[in-house]
Amino acid sequence: MHSIVAPASAMVRRALMTAAVGVATLAFASVAQAEKVVMAWVPAIDALPYMVALEEKAFEKQGIEVVDQRLSSATGLVDALIADRAQVGPYGTAPGIAMVAESQHPGTLKIFGLSGGEADTPYVNSTLLVKKGSSIKSLADLKGKKLGRNPGIQWKTNVLYILNAMHMKESDVQQVELPFPLQVPALLAGTVDATITIDPFAATALATGDAEAAVVNVGAKYVANPWFGGCAVMTTKFVNEHPDTARKIMLVLRDITKRIEGDFDKYKPLLVKYAGIPENALPYVRPMLFRNDEQIDARDIGAMQKVFDMYYKEGALGTHIDFKTKVIRLSDLK
């Protein structure tokens, strides 16, 4: 009786087929396990940590499939979160708009990072831009002028607060609502006399040689210091239903914000790819202060509380906001 032995080549083929099926099964399982997360953002410098994450596929490495929603409006971003069309605003969300929405829909949003500027430091968030040679040298010179500002309650209230502090009435300055991408063109065309804007839009204007900064760090000098014009936010629903994924997102952005803090110039070229800034404007882009959930301290919370107390007093908030209760940290995730 003779044993039948398969030819070596046949055995190899069967082994390869078995291995291929195994790899395919693992790949399918990996894809099946990847959790889709809708992340909404506005292409400004505040969103640099998210740009780094996109470039490095940092979320995908953690088993997260990013559904990327690039928006043009800070208000539209918050609306998407409130309507559950997005789950995460990974830096670049306007905290003032977010907390106004939170006051109208209590328990909807949680903040896990801040971005902004600090007076008399290299960290810049908001700039008063004017045309080269303008007679406007300070905010006091805005009386009787047209001022461009971002639409929404955040900068409307900020401007009113600043005007009151300078003993000017709202009617003393004509405010013109302009989304960030339209502010510089309107300034250079003479539609407005000045505009309060942020990078990379300020950098783009300065690179033309036709504009100059009258005041740097408007928010930090005249509203609260440090001034945080941006934040990272998640919906409370997402945090409660997907705490493990929320934890991964926070850890990824913790790592990236620390690396940006260590070498801002290494990462700012991503603004060319993701925010459309001209390469010749990069030298004019100033560093931004990023504070992840681990870094947010009592000073940061106090600065934000001052802003929201002012918003409540000015009628922008329907209810008082206790900001420290709106911050979520890794230790809060169960």
Q: Is the pLDDT of residue 82 over 50?
A: yes
The answer to whether residues 114 and 324 touch, using CB atoms and an 8 Å cutoff, is: no
Four-CA torsion 171, 319, 42, 142, nearest 10 degrees: 20
- Coil vs helix vs strand at 19: helix
Percent share of the chain, pLDDT over 90 = 78
* Residue-wise pLDDT tens digits, 157-178: 888 998 888 899 999 999 999 9
Helix axes 74-82, 95-104, angle to 10 degrees: 30
Q: What is d(CA 322, CA 288) in angstroms, rounded to the nearest whole number?
A: 25
Kindly report the average pLDDT of the chain as a whole number.
90
**32-69: per-residue pLDDT in tens?**
577 999 999 999 999 999 999 999 999 999 999 999 99
pTM: 0.86
Residue 124, classed as helix, strand or coil, is coil
Q: How many CB atoms lie within 10 A of CB 301?
A: 16
Please state the three-class secondary structure of 50-82 as a single string.
HHHHHHHCCCHHHCEEEEEEECCCHHHHHHHHH
Give the per-residue pLDDT at 14: 53
Mean pLDDT calculated for residue range 71-82: 93
pLDDT of residue 21: 43
Residue 9 has pLDDT above 90, yes or no: no
Q: Is the pLDDT of residue 317 over 60?
A: yes
Q: What is the C-alpha end-to-end distance of the chain, expressed in Å? A: 66
| Tens digit of each residue's pLDDT (9 = 90 or more) over 252-281 | 999 999 999 999 999 999 999 999 999 999
